[in-house]
């Protein structure tokens, strides 16, 4: 189709209001086909449901509905095979599909738009597209959680340092650390499921903004498209973009969690830590340093949160000043959502792959777990539990013993009983039962604690949740 012909076609579809086609600048700023063609499958699904409803309610004939159905299936096949030609003069995916439908079936194509508007049509298409992304988001999170569970199960009793301020704090288990991320991504999963349930109302049939005088059946089209119900207010239905904002909000929080874990993988895989080895599939080499193995996938995941969070902010800014109902500003609601969805799914898949492939270095983890006087809290707790000291006094005694060990160049378990009794005469041989890192983690039996038994209990709980 030539540009002149496309412009004339566009004018005909708009009716007689405009005598001439838009100039190049107006066409460029007005067109959205360059990005909203990603919603082609959703647009055709919505049109098929609408046409079937129009026939069922007697608004159009069964013959016309069948012609529309066959024509739409042909267009879908053309799009999927790459044979469909898009025109910027026709502005968007909706007009491109309708124009091609007219080429294919003639006059019946003009009946398809009965009882609807582009306003409810685009809201429906976009909501269907976002719903598909939420489903993919759910699957990606579940795959990542399963990979983390496998790591947790394999190392449920491995000891490693737990950190605060990135300083050694107390010994924990590898499984416990992996399960911390299971909880984070589990909450992300809960947000996704909540968002999907909340957004699953159909805008179709709200028409331009006020509904329609045709005797349409909105419950029928809602059911056909997998919605729970039609949206209850036509003004809200065409102007609502909460569903896209909620998707971006969920994506931003999850991307932040991905970034936190990516940061740990970058640190852990360094020569200074050697806690994990990342597979070659998710690492790269250096162009001049042959010994280097760079955690590029983790670093790129760490950066994705900026794009995803930026998309959330951008859409907030688009929507914040819009009166009801539709304004052309809302054409700017899709590109950032598309970009965020693409980058989120890529980051989830990359993280899941890294977690599945990575190898924990048990020896390095255990060696680090015993450094930095990591069992000092266990010593203080023992003084309270066994000797009945107030915790603040126990804290002071422990600090003195840490200072002594530091001066001797050894760790707490390496001090002799007489050394300890020099600080507090009541300390007995039993104190050494709590000073080893394995003893420390085994003792943390409180619910949600780091003891291997607790870790295995939480793994079993999450397996039940996912099942």
Please indicate whether residue 176 is annotated as part of the active site: no
Q: Out of 165, 287, 416, 418, which one is annotated catalytic?
A: 165
Label residue 425 exposed, middle or buried (CB < 10 Å: 0-12, 13-18, 19+).
exposed
Q: Are 56 and 220 in contact (CB under 8 A)?
A: yes
Q: Are 143 and 185 in contact (CB under 8 A)?
A: no
Label residue 464 exposed, middle or buried (CB < 10 Å: 0-12, 13-18, 19+).
exposed
What HEC string does the chain produce? CCHHHHHHHHHHHHCCCCCCCCCHHHHHHHCCHHHHHHHHHHHHHHHHHHHHHHHHCCCCCHHHHHHHHHHHHHHHHHHHHCCCCCCHHHCCHHHHHHHHHHHHHCHHHHHCCCCCCHHHHHHHHHHHHHHHHHHHHHHHHHHHHHHHHHHHHHCCCCEEEEEECCEEEEEEEHHHHHHHHHHHHHHHHHHHHHHHHHHCEECCCCCCCCCCCCCCCHHHHHHHCCCCEECCCHHHHHHCCHHHHHHHHHHHHHHHHHHHHHHHHHHHCCCCCCCEECCHHHCECCCCCCCCCECHHHHHHHHHHHHHHHHHHHHHHHHCCCCCCCCHHHHHHCHHHHHHHHHHHHHHHHHHHHHHHCEECHHHHHHHHCCCCCCHHHHHHHHHHHHCCCHHHHHHHHHHHHHHHHHHCCCHHHCCHHHHHHHCCCCCHHHHHCCCHHHHHHHCCCCCCCCHHHHHHHHHHHHHHHC
Q: Are 116 and 209 in contact (CB under 8 A)?
A: no
Q: How far apart are CA 151 and CA 136, in angstroms?
A: 23
Q: Out of 61, 77, 270, 286, which one is annotated catalytic?
A: 286
Please indicate whether residue 32 is annotated as part of the active site: no
Residues belonging to the active site: 165, 286
């Amino acid at each position: 189709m030539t540009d002149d012909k496309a412009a004339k076609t566009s004018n005909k579809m708009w009716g007689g209001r405009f005598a001439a086609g838009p100039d190049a600048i107006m066409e460029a700023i007005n067109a959205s086909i360059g990005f909203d063609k990603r919603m082609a499958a959703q647009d055709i699904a919505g049109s098929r449901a609408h046409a079937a409803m129009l026939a069922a309610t007697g608004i159009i004939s069964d013959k016309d509905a069948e012609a529309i159905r066959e024509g739409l299936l042909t267009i879908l096949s053309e799009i999927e095979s790459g044979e469909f030609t898009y025109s910027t003069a026709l502005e968007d995916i909706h007009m491109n599909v309708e124009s091609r439908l007219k080429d294919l079936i003639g006059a019946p194509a003009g009946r398809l738009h009965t009882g609807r508007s582009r306003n409810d049509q685009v809201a429906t298409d976009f909501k269907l597209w976002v719903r598909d992304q939420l489903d993919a988001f759910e699957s990606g999170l579940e795959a990542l959680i399963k990979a983390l569970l496998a790591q947790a199960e394999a190392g449920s009793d491995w000891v490693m340092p737990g950190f605060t301020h990135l300083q050694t704090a107390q010994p924990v288990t590898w499984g416990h650390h992996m399960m911390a991320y299971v909880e984070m991504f589990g909450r992300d999963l809960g947000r996704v499921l909540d968002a999907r349930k909340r957004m699953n109302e159909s805008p179709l049939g709200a028409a331009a903004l006020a509904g329609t005088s045709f005797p349409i059946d909105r419950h029928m089209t809602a059911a056909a498209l997998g919605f729970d119900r039609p949206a209850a207010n036509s003004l809200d239905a065409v102007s609502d973009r909460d569903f896209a904002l909620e998707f971006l909000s969920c994506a931003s929080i999850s991307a932040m969690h991905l970034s936190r874990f990516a940061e740990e993988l970058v640190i852990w895989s360094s020569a200074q830590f050697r806690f994990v080895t990342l597979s070659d599939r998710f690492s790269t080499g250096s162009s001049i340093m042959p010994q280097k193995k760079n955690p590029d996938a983790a670093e790129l995941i760490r950066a994705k949160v900026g794009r995803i969070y930026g998309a959330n902010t951008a859409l907030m800014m688009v929507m914040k000043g819009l009166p009801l109902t539709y304004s052309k500003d809302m054409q700017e609601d899709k590109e950032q959502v598309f970009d965020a969805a693409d980058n989120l799914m890529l980051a989830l898949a990359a993280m899941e792959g890294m977690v599945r492939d990575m190898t924990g270095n048990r020896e390095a983890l255990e060696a680090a777990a015993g450094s930095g006087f990591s069992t000092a809290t266990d010593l203080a707790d023992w003084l309270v539990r066994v000797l009945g000291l107030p915790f603040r006094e126990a804290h002071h005694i422990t600090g003195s013993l840490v200072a002594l060990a530091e001066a001797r160049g050894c760790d707490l378990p390496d001090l002799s009983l007489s050394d300890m009794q020099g600080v507090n005469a009541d300390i007995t041989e039993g104190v050494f039962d709590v000073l080893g890192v394995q003893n420390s983690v085994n003792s943390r039996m409180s619910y949600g604690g780091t003891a291997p038994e607790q870790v295995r209990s939480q793994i079993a709980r999450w397996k039940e949740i996912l099942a």
